[in-house]
Amino acid sequence: MTSQLETRTQAPAAVVRKPEARRRRASGPGRWRIRLLQAAAVVGFLALWQLFSLTPTAAKADMPGALESIVRLGELVLTGKYWAALGTTTGSWAVALVASVIIGVPVGLVIGRSRRVLDSTKWSIDFLRTIPSVAFIPLALLLMGRTQAMVIVVAVIPAVWPLVIQSIYAGQQADPVLARVSRSFRLTVADRIRYVLAPDVLAFVWPGLRLATTAALLVTVSAELIGGGKGIGSEIMNAQIYNRSATLYAWVLTACFLGLLINALLGVLQRKLLWWHPSMRGTRR
């Protein structure tokens, strides 16, 4: 059965679209040459930044050099405040993501299992998920003030939709033969979840999880930026208000590293959890 929602991300195909799949795994010295060139590209970018910071345009915008920003970052890393802010942002993001999985996946599976339920909810879901989640920040601010809870609530909103939609596909595509086979083999409930349900659902939900991760991080930082609370976003805003541009750039770099780290983590998890999926074949070392 093809999906009813016109919101399809093309379920497992989306797994193919991740960068790891196109990463050609050259071996031996070729790999090292690429690594070296990549490092050179990063250094080149930093050098360009440094040069650009010397121009009048950059001076007018109070832009610090790359060196200055990295040194400032080094100073910040040694303070407890840095890790507190980083921890707060990571914590808000993680709680929001886990909450979205707990809410989104069961709801999506239930909806996807039944044609009638899907028809009934389709228009409501289509409408609700197009509302930009940042629109809720002012309301959440009025209700909850400048708190971490506010940030988490606002971050759940955009993260839950991709999970719901991918889980709907998972529910729709559930193979009845698998269920019958597991019944004939008298699998226990635990085994059925572990060996039948989990792999099937995981392959579908994964692309949704990747989207949810990015969305949750974007909105977490936005909410902190607009609504205060404590975290990377508010540190960035403070640095801007007090005109400490090196600190500002150091925090932006931190946000960038956090994003990279989360992406890398997802990549590793994907190889560990989905190695059996056809789209992952040939990508392992």
Q: How far is CA 137 from CA 140, 151, 201, 285, in A?
A: 5, 8, 32, 44
CA proximity to 246, closest of 63, 118, 74:
63
CA proximity to 105, closest of 164, 172, 173, 174:
164
Cα separation, 245 vs 224, whole angstroms:
19
62 binds other proteins (CB under 8 A): yes
127 binds other proteins (CB under 8 A): yes
In the complex, minimum distance from the CB of residue 221 to other proteins, in angstroms, rounded to a whole number: 4
Cα separation, 185 vs 105, whole angstroms:
27
Question: In this complex, which beta carbon is closest to other proteins, that of residue 116 or of residue 186?
Answer: 116
Q: Which stretch binds other proteins (CB under 8 A): 98-106, 135-143, 173-181, 183-191?
A: 135-143
Question: In this complex, which beta carbon is closest to other proteins, that of residue 106 or of residue 267?
Answer: 267
Residue from 212, 217, 246, 250 binding other proteins (CB under 8 A): 217
Question: In this complex, which beta carbon is closest to other proteins, that of residue 182 or of residue 263?
Answer: 263
Cα separation, 105 vs 192, whole angstroms:
17
Taking CB under 8 A as the criterion, which residues in 223-252 touch other proteins?
225-226, 232-233, 236-237, 239-240, 245, 248-249, 251-252
Cα separation, 81 vs 19, whole angstroms:
34
CA proximity to 218, closest of 126, 270, 161, 154:
154
Binding string, residues 186-215; x marks residues near other proteins by CB under 8 A:
-------------------------x----
In the complex, minimum distance from the CB of residue 86 to other proteins, in angstroms, rounded to a whole number: 13
Residue from 53, 90, 92, 133 binding other proteins (CB under 8 A): 133
Cα separation, 236 vs 103, whole angstroms:
31
> Tokens for 190?
């635990």
> Tokens for 270?
């994907």
Cα separation, 114 vs 220, whole angstroms:
34
In the complex, minimum distance from the CB of residue 138 to other proteins, in angstroms, rounded to a whole number: 4
In the complex, minimum distance from the CB of residue 194 to other proteins, in angstroms, rounded to a whole number: 32
Question: In this complex, which beta carbon is closest to other proteins, that of residue 166 or of residue 197?
Answer: 166
CA proximity to 153, closest of 211, 205, 224:
224
Residues contributing to the site for other proteins (CB under 8 A): 6, 9-10, 17, 19, 22-24, 34, 37-38, 40-42, 45, 57, 61-63, 116, 119-124, 126-127, 130-139, 141-143, 158, 211, 217-222, 225-226, 232-233, 236-237, 239-240, 245, 248-249, 251-252, 255-256, 258-260, 262-263
